[in-house]
């Protein structure tokens, strides 16, 4: 919703000008010609008329139906802040439509003594004006794929966390202490990786399934990647610490592996720091 409103506000002058031109170009009898209007302009959601006393005087016409139950209802509360321009047109601020649940605006056009109200789907309007990229079918397919993928990742993360907890409790109730350090670090690594994968799944679900995005946000993708890399580095650091402890206990067979692991982890630290520095320098600051 916020993203759509921001796009609309930035282009408000040109969008409002287009809407006024559109309204004035429509057939004069809006209600009788509603079928033609809906077929040509898919972003118009409904049309109805209100008389001079602000009582609804026409049916509420939708794309596929017409509702006469509202005729005679008092609509004065919708016209409290009505301020018509020189063309007898008023354009409201964006809001969430009560019927569709989408970001919408209302347009009022005074013709003779009748106020004609048009509810316009803001998403489809901005898409029609090429101000955003949106395709309903593609968006539904994308959401289903991301939902399946994020759910699968979440299940994998739960399995890893469960395994880590299982290893820990088995260790606590076991009388054998020969592999205590190995098992405790295996539990920590499993839980850490599970949390990292869960965080990745959560980010995908929130940004690609729950909240709709209408422009490519590289900063968002970098944040997800950065969080995942941090979790991997933590897991590698724990693995390095485990190998160092083994060496300290007299197991010198893994000394070379520990050296390479420490070098690799350090390189990843340096690389992650450079990654964040580069992203901060390349990402434009938000005006807000």
Looking at residue 135, its pLDDT comes to 55
Contact between 73 and 89 under an 8 Å Cβ cutoff? The reply is no
Looking at residue 170, its pLDDT comes to 83
Looking at residue 168, its pLDDT comes to 86
In the predicted model, residues of the chain with pLDDT beneath 70 are: 1-2, 133-139, 175-178, 181, 210-224, 246, 248-252, 254, 282-288
Nearest to 217 by CA among 273, 279, 260, 173: 279
Q: How far apart are CA 102 and CA 89, in angstroms?
A: 23
Q: What is the pTM of this model?
A: 0.54
């Amino acid at each position: 919703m916020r993203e759509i409103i921001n796009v609309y506000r930035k282009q408000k002058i040109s969008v409002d000008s287009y809407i006024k031109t559109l309204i004035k170009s429509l057939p004069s009898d809006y209600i009788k010609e509603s079928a033609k209007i809906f077929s040509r302009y898919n972003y118009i959601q409904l049309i109805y008329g209100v008389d001079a006393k602000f009582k609804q005087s026409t049916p509420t016409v939708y794309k596929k139906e017409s509702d006469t139950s509202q005729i005679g209802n008092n609509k004065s509360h919708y016209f409290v802040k009505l301020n018509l321009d020189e063309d007898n047109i008023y354009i409201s601020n964006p809001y969430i439509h009560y019927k569709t649940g989408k970001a919408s605006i209302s347009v009022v056009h005074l013709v003779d003594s009748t106020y004609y109200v048009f509810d316009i789907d803001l998403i489809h309007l901005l898409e029609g004006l090429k101000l955003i990229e949106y395709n309903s079918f593609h968006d539904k397919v994308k959401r289903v794929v991301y939902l399946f993928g994020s759910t699968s990742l979440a299940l994998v993360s739960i399995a890893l966390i469960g395994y880590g907890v299982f290893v820990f409790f088995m260790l606590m109730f076991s009388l054998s202490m020969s592999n205590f350090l190995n098992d405790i670090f295996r539990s920590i690594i499993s839980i850490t990786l599970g949390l990292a994968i869960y965080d990745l799944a959560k980010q995908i679900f929130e940004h690609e399934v729950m909240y709709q995005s209408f422009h490519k946000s590289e900063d968002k993708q970098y944040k997800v990647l950065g969080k995942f890399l941090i979790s991997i580095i933590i897991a590698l650091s724990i693995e390095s610490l485990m190998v160092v402890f083994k060496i300290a206990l007299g197991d010198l067979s893994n000394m070379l592996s520990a050296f390479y692991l420490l070098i690799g982890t350090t390189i990843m630290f340096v690389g992650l720091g450079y990654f964040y520095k580069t992203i901060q320098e390349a990402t434009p600051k938000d005006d807000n």
